[in-house]
Amino acid sequence: MKKVAIVGAGQSRYGEFPDKGIKELFFEAYKDMTASVDKGIDSKMIEASYIGNLGSGGFQLGNMSALVSEYCGLPHIHTMRIENACASGGYALVAAIMDVLSGTHKVAIAGGVEKMTDVSGSKQKYWLGVSGDTEYERLAGTTFSGLYALIAQRHMHEFGTKREHLSMVAVKNHKNGAQNPKAQFQREITLEQALKGPIVAAPLNLFDCCSTTDGASAVLVCDADIAKQFTDTPIYVGGFGTASDYLAIHDRVSTVTLEGTRRASERAYKMAGLTPKDIQLAEVHDCFTIAELLAYEDLGFCEKGKAGPFIEEGHTQIGGDKPVNASGGLKSKGHPIGSTGTGQAYEMFNQLRGTVEKPTRQVKNAEIGLVHNVGGSGGTVSVTIMRR
């Protein structure tokens, strides 16, 4: 199969920025991306952009990809907004990869941007809620925290997963995020703090839930044949997979398996000629702490039902045999919806090149990594394997 390379990646700081709009945020990520291209890049070489975005709170629903692309000095390229809820960025990355694989374009941007903090709390709940099954879930009064709480309850019931296992995810990711200068929450928390957070939807409390975030990210994808024009250390796309599932969790065979993750990862592993054992580190979609535990199982890192012991034994710590969310994950780094998937790719690009800002967060000698991006409660999933 023809090869695709990633030769640059950038990200804005994640957080709350009332003085910045989606144009300014994306331009910040774009500048960071171009600065990471060792040998430089002429913007005229960029032929396409795929921008993940849920809708920026309804502010710029139409032509937003053209808006942010032209603000970066790319006014006449092929451009497309990709919307697949929280998996928008991951699908933007896959779209750019498929574009280059097809031979249509040689150089494309995969990016994402979201401005989440400019709308009221009630509008946020509506805006996010319509990413699930609007008729049978949102209009019945559920929220995403409520849906993931149901999943957590069932996982605890079936497998004996402990309340402490959920909190261990939050503690680990905050520890990593405290070392990430672009993370929204750069502070550690103790297990005791994580266990005593205010209840949001039992058993999930405040420390089990990711935040609403402003931010942007951008990744430069190109034909591998020209990658050395940009850098001597490109990162290659080993494989990718996408899959959907029933939007409403009551329609699924099991509420403790994200079938989209399982199928998408199987496709990515097959394309890459790898198995879960070959993955040395991963950035997974921890919108809620239970989501990270599910990812361990559904990506094949451990057996179904064994995610609790897996984190308790330290496997997913930096320094463990399968570090997960060295960036801090959605929980600490932040979750600007459209940007999350390409933000994960930004982290993996730097991890595999050994260019993470702080050595304490660098996974040593990593050559193969996986990024996993989930839309809603599992309705859409993308998995991409990257290798040095």
Active-site amino acid positions: 86, 335
Q: Report long-range pairs for 192-196 (Cβ below 8 Å, ≥24 apart).
A: 194/167, 194/168, 194/170, 195/163, 195/164, 195/167
Strand 4-11 with 235-244, pairing: antiparallel
Note whether 214 and 114 are within 8 A (CB).
yes
Sequence-distant (6+) residues with CB within 8 A of 212 are 116, 117, 124, 335
Q: What SS3 state is found at 111?
A: strand
Note whether 15 and 115 are within 8 A (CB).
no
Q: How far apart are CA 258 and CA 300, in angstroms?
A: 12
Structure token digits, residue 24: 């300014």
Closest by Cα among 1, 2, 4, 29 to 224: 4
